[in-house]
Amino acid sequence: MEKKTYQNAQGDLSNLQTPDIEVWENQYKDRDYTVSFELAEFTCVCPKTGLPDFATLYLNYVPEKWCIELKSFKMYILFYRDIGIFHEHFVNKILDDIVKACSPRSASLKAIVNTRGGILTTVESIYPYK
């Protein structure tokens, strides 16, 4: 039996032109505190079936010099609604872009993807990466 990889189902994510995540200066960089966002309406497209996927995202980060500006982050997240991307990839791509934008001390992004075919999928990525 030949193994299916779906290798060409999704484009190269390094070339994906996403909107900028804007930041503002953290005036309390001398202390550790956690900022948490819950995004209940994340949507993207399954690159295999073309059907929409829905997820709740949980972002936690400890800011260093910069904090994430919410409106630009909302626009960044909305960008994905028409993008064909695997669950594992959108979690890692979004966290990469957050780290690039605000250089946090630490961050984690967890996605709980709505049940499809009887399977509930959870994907989590943690920065600093190992």
- Specify whether 102 is catalytic: no
Tokens representing 42? 């994340």
Where residue 14 falls among pLDDT bands split at 50, 70, 90? confident
Range of the domain at 37: 23-127
Residue 59 CB contacts under 8 Å (≥ 6 apart), including other chains: 36, 37, 38, 39, 98, 107, 108, 109
- Specify whether 46 is catalytic: yes
Q: Prior bond to 63 cis, omega within 30? A: no
9 found inside a domain: no
Q: Which of 12, 30, 44, 46 is catalytic?
A: 46
Q: Which of 20, 32, 44, 53 is catalytic?
A: 53
16 found inside a domain: no
85 found inside a domain: yes
State the Cα–Cα distance between residues 91 and 111, nearest whole angstrom: 7
CATH of the domain at 101: 3.30.1130.10
2 found inside a domain: no
Provide the number of structural domains found in the chain.
Answer: 1
Tokens representing 100? 């690039």
Where residue 8 falls among pLDDT bands split at 50, 70, 90? low
Q: Which pLDDT belongs to residue 79?
A: 97
Q: Which pLDDT belongs to residue 53?
A: 96
49 found inside a domain: yes
75 found inside a domain: yes
15 found inside a domain: no
Residue 63 CB contacts under 8 Å (≥ 6 apart), including other chains: 26, 29, 33, 35, 102, 104, 105
Q: pTM of this prediction?
A: 0.91
Residue 102 contacts residue 60 (beta carbons within 8 Å): no
pLDDT in tens, 23-81: 999 999 999 999 999 999 999 999 999 999 999 999 999 999 999 999 999 999 999 99
14 found inside a domain: no
Q: What percent of the chain has pLDDT over 70?
A: 92
